[in-house]
Amino acid sequence: MDCRDYRAQFIDLFDDELDFRQTEKLLRHVANCSACSADLKSMYVMISGIRKLDKKASYFPEYEDKIKLIKSRCKREKAVRVIQIVLSAFAFLILALFILMGFTV
Ligand SMILES: [Zn+2]
Protein backbone atom coordinates (compact mmCIF):
# COMPACT_ATOMS: atom_id res chain seq x y z
CA MET A 1 0.00 0.00 0.00
CA ASP A 2 1.24 3.50 -0.76
CA CYS A 3 0.42 6.93 0.67
CA ARG A 4 -2.59 7.33 -1.59
CA ASP A 5 -4.15 4.09 -0.30
CA TYR A 6 -3.64 5.15 3.29
CA ARG A 7 -5.07 8.60 2.66
CA ALA A 8 -8.19 7.01 1.22
CA GLN A 9 -8.75 5.45 4.67
CA PHE A 10 -8.45 8.64 6.72
CA ILE A 11 -12.17 9.37 6.96
CA ASP A 12 -12.92 5.74 7.82
CA LEU A 13 -10.30 5.98 10.57
CA PHE A 14 -12.01 9.00 12.11
CA ASP A 15 -15.41 7.33 11.82
CA ASP A 16 -14.11 4.13 13.51
CA GLU A 17 -14.89 2.15 10.39
CA LEU A 18 -11.54 0.33 10.18
CA ASP A 19 -10.83 -2.89 12.03
CA PHE A 20 -7.89 -3.05 14.41
CA ARG A 21 -5.54 -4.54 11.83
CA GLN A 22 -6.25 -1.78 9.32
CA THR A 23 -6.05 0.83 12.08
CA GLU A 24 -2.68 -0.43 13.31
CA LYS A 25 -1.29 -0.55 9.80
CA LEU A 26 -2.50 2.96 9.02
CA LEU A 27 -1.20 4.44 12.29
CA ARG A 28 2.15 2.71 11.78
CA HIS A 29 2.44 4.26 8.33
CA VAL A 30 1.42 7.70 9.56
CA ALA A 31 4.01 7.49 12.37
CA ASN A 32 6.72 6.94 9.77
CA CYS A 33 5.48 9.22 7.00
CA SER A 34 5.58 12.94 7.74
CA ALA A 35 3.49 13.83 4.67
CA CYS A 36 0.63 11.53 5.68
CA SER A 37 0.96 12.57 9.30
CA ALA A 38 0.46 16.22 8.36
CA ASP A 39 -2.41 15.34 6.02
CA LEU A 40 -4.15 13.21 8.62
CA LYS A 41 -4.05 16.02 11.13
CA SER A 42 -5.25 18.72 8.74
CA MET A 43 -8.01 16.45 7.43
CA TYR A 44 -9.19 15.83 10.98
CA VAL A 45 -9.20 19.53 11.79
CA MET A 46 -11.15 20.21 8.61
CA ILE A 47 -13.67 17.38 9.10
CA SER A 48 -14.29 18.13 12.75
CA GLY A 49 -14.69 21.81 11.85
CA ILE A 50 -17.33 20.99 9.25
CA ARG A 51 -19.12 18.54 11.51
CA LYS A 52 -19.17 20.99 14.40
CA LEU A 53 -21.42 23.15 12.22
CA ASP A 54 -23.91 20.31 12.22
CA LYS A 55 -25.89 20.72 15.43
CA LYS A 56 -26.48 16.98 15.81
CA ALA A 57 -22.78 16.33 16.19
CA SER A 58 -21.73 17.81 19.50
CA TYR A 59 -18.47 16.36 20.78
CA PHE A 60 -15.22 16.45 18.87
CA PRO A 61 -11.97 15.73 20.70
CA GLU A 62 -8.76 17.50 19.76
CA TYR A 63 -6.65 15.70 17.17
CA GLU A 64 -4.18 14.23 19.69
CA ASP A 65 -7.03 13.00 21.89
CA LYS A 66 -8.80 11.51 18.89
CA ILE A 67 -5.67 9.53 17.98
CA LYS A 68 -5.42 8.34 21.58
CA LEU A 69 -9.06 7.23 21.48
CA ILE A 70 -8.47 5.39 18.21
CA LYS A 71 -5.41 3.66 19.66
CA SER A 72 -7.23 2.53 22.79
CA ARG A 73 -10.18 1.23 20.75
CA CYS A 74 -7.72 -0.66 18.61
CA LYS A 75 -6.04 -2.17 21.68
CA ARG A 76 -9.43 -3.16 23.11
CA GLU A 77 -10.54 -4.83 19.88
CA LYS A 78 -7.26 -6.70 19.71
CA ALA A 79 -7.69 -7.94 23.30
CA VAL A 80 -11.24 -9.10 22.55
CA ARG A 81 -9.96 -10.97 19.49
CA VAL A 82 -7.26 -12.72 21.56
CA ILE A 83 -9.85 -13.71 24.17
CA GLN A 84 -12.11 -15.09 21.42
CA ILE A 85 -9.25 -17.17 20.04
CA VAL A 86 -8.31 -18.50 23.49
CA LEU A 87 -11.95 -19.33 24.27
CA SER A 88 -12.50 -21.15 21.01
CA ALA A 89 -9.27 -23.08 21.50
CA PHE A 90 -10.47 -23.98 24.99
CA ALA A 91 -13.89 -25.05 23.69
CA PHE A 92 -12.17 -27.17 21.07
CA LEU A 93 -10.02 -28.84 23.74
CA ILE A 94 -13.06 -29.64 25.89
CA LEU A 95 -14.85 -31.07 22.86
CA ALA A 96 -11.79 -33.13 21.90
CA LEU A 97 -11.56 -34.38 25.48
CA PHE A 98 -15.21 -35.47 25.46
CA ILE A 99 -14.74 -37.29 22.19
CA LEU A 100 -11.57 -38.97 23.41
CA MET A 101 -13.33 -40.09 26.57
CA GLY A 102 -16.03 -41.69 24.47
CA PHE A 103 -18.88 -39.29 25.10
CA THR A 104 -21.14 -38.32 22.27
CA VAL A 105 -22.16 -34.73 21.85
ZN1 LIG B 1 2.46 8.30 3.55
CA of 89 to the centre of ligand 1 (A): 38
Q: Is residue 30, in this structure, part of any structural domain at all?
A: yes
Rounded distance from Cα 25 to ligand 1 centre (Å): 11
Give whole-number Cα distances, 5 to 14, 26, 52, 74, in Å: 15, 10, 27, 20
40 is in which domain, residue-wise? 3-74
Task: Give the predicted TM-score (pTM) of the model.
Answer: 0.75
Residue 42 lies in a domain: yes
**CA–CA separation, 17 and 76 (whole Å):** 15
In a domain, 53, yes or no: yes
pLDDT in tens, 69-98: 999 999 999 999 999 999 999 999 999 998
Look at residue 67 and tell me if it is in a domain: yes
Q: Evaluate whether residue 52 is within a structural domain.
A: yes
Does 60 fall in a domain?
A: yes
Report CA(5)–ligand 1 centroid distance (Å).
9
* Residue 8, pLDDT score: 96
- In the chain, the DSSP E strands lie at none
Ligand 1 centroid to 76 CA: how many Å? 26
Rounded Cα gap, residues 21 and 91, in angstroms: 25
- Total length of the chain: 105
Distance, CA 31 to ligand 1 centroid (Å)? Answer: 9
User: Is 34 within the bounds of a domain?
Assistant: yes
Q: Cα separation of 30 and 63, whole Å?
A: 14
CA 105–ligand 1 middle distance (angstroms): 53
Which parts of the chain have pLDDT scores under 50?
none
Number of domains in the chain: 1
Q: Is residue 56 part of a domain?
A: yes
What pLDDT score was predicted for residue 92? Answer: 95
